[in-house]
Amino acid sequence: MVTTMNKTPEDISNTLGTATVGIAGAGGLGSNVAIALARAGVGNLVVVDFDSVEQSNLNRQFYFHSQVGMAKVLALKENISKACPDVNMLAINGRLELGAMTVPFTDVDVVVEALDSAETKAQFIEETLLKLPNIPLVAASGVAGIGGGERIVQNNSGKLWMVSDPEARSSDEDVLLAPKVGLMAYWQANIVLELLLGTNKNFDEKLEGNN
């Protein structure tokens, strides 16, 4: 079998198995991006979050009731290992400090922005584009709400790929629930696979430009 990407399933599995993806945040976006990538065969993950699992997270985040109170990155590592024991996940239980937000991600192949507040998202995107100019970054914006799936779009500008619902309300003014958060997290993961496999047209051109 040769897939639509002109790669055999073995090629795909080899490439993904040796890849490393950095994920900033292990909430609704990050925990779901992580499990999607692990199931798809990405071999190495670096996940950073300072939070603990709360009861209120269970409506959308990849955690279980018995894990309430546990550090999110440790709970996530446990959950991923149950589904995908071969995945190597580096769990960093700490805050991303302004000015040093990219430190955990200097050696990854793709970075995923999976943070919560708009201000932190903007700071992280700015810092990553400036400090890691050669590493693709996949971000998401507008995950709150129900429905509106037809508004979700994927945009690219340089090394930044965005999954966004430009008309969504902020999470202070609307609900965060599994379906829409999950849609956008899995959409981010889908872009990550494209980037890792070099099947994203824009990414290919950039790679050729570098050679």
Partner 1 sequence: MSIIVNTREMEYIPEETMTQLLKRMKYMFPLVVVKIDGVVIPRVEFPETTFPDGVNIEIIHLISGG
What is the contact surface with partner 1 in residues (CB under 8 A)?
25, 27-30, 114-119, 121-123, 125-126, 129-130, 139-144, 157-158, 160, 162, 164-166, 168-172, 174, 176, 181
Taking the least distance from each CB to partner 1, the nearer of 157 and 210 is 157
* Helix, strand or coil, per DSSP, at residue 69: coil
Distance CA(140)–CA(6), nearest Å, equals 28
In angstroms, what is the minimal distance from the CB of 15 to partner 1?
28
Cβ atoms of 37 and 21 within 8 Å: the answer is yes
DSSP code string of 3-45? -TTS--HHHHHHHHHT-EEEEE--SHHHHHHHHHHHHHT--EE
Taking the least distance from each CB to partner 1, the nearer of 12 and 129 is 129
In angstroms, what is the minimal distance from the CB of 179 to partner 1?
13
Taking the least distance from each CB to partner 1, the nearer of 95 and 169 is 169
Distance CA(114)–CA(190), nearest Å, equals 14
Taking the least distance from each CB to partner 1, the nearer of 27 and 104 is 27
